[in-house]
Amino acid sequence: MIYLRGGNDEFLPFMMAMICELLVFIPIMAFILVCRWKIFVKAGQEGWKSIIPIYGSYVYTIDIAGKDMTTFVLHFIPFANIYSAVVTNLAIAKKFGKDEGFGIGLTFLAIVFLPWLAFDKKIVYQNNDPNNTPTL
């Protein structure tokens, strides 16, 4: 066994676990970031808006999904955020011409459905609400 100075036997396994976690976590998060960027661009928004934490959620909920401010605020309340995430993703699916099953998939299997929404050329944004026109 490898001993570090000071004889702390628990430090090395902890650091190895952290490094392995980062090697998995960072690429997945980068991929999700790219997917969100592409979805924003498909919806007529600027992609950089997706990387600003609260503002990105605001644009996703209000401008792209077409939901109201109450739904956006519910994203930050524990347990109510589950409801608002489902409602928002159902609206996103509808705006992109998909059914409710796709919206549920966006909520609970985002690692599969976000890339599908982002990279499928056949899926286009259909803003059918004249009061909610995306700004460029």
C-alpha torsion sign, points 45, 46, 50, 56: negative
| Average pLDDT of every residue of the chain | 88
Residues 38-89: tens digit of each pLDDT: 999 999 999 999 999 999 999 999 999 999 999 999 999 999 999 999 999 9
Q: Does pLDDT of 101 surpass 70?
A: yes
Task: Strands of the chain (E only): list them.
Answer: none
HSE (side-chain half, CA atoms, 13 Å) at 127: 17
Distance CA 78, CA 112 (A): 25
Q: Give the burial string for 82-101 (b: 16+ CB within 10 Å, else e).
A: eebbbbbbbbbbbbbebeee
**pLDDT reported for residue 127:** 79
- The residues spanned by each domain of the chain are 16-119
Residues 6 or more apart from 128 whose CB is under 8 A from it? 95
CA distances from 106 to 3, 40, 48, 94 (A): 46, 15, 21, 12
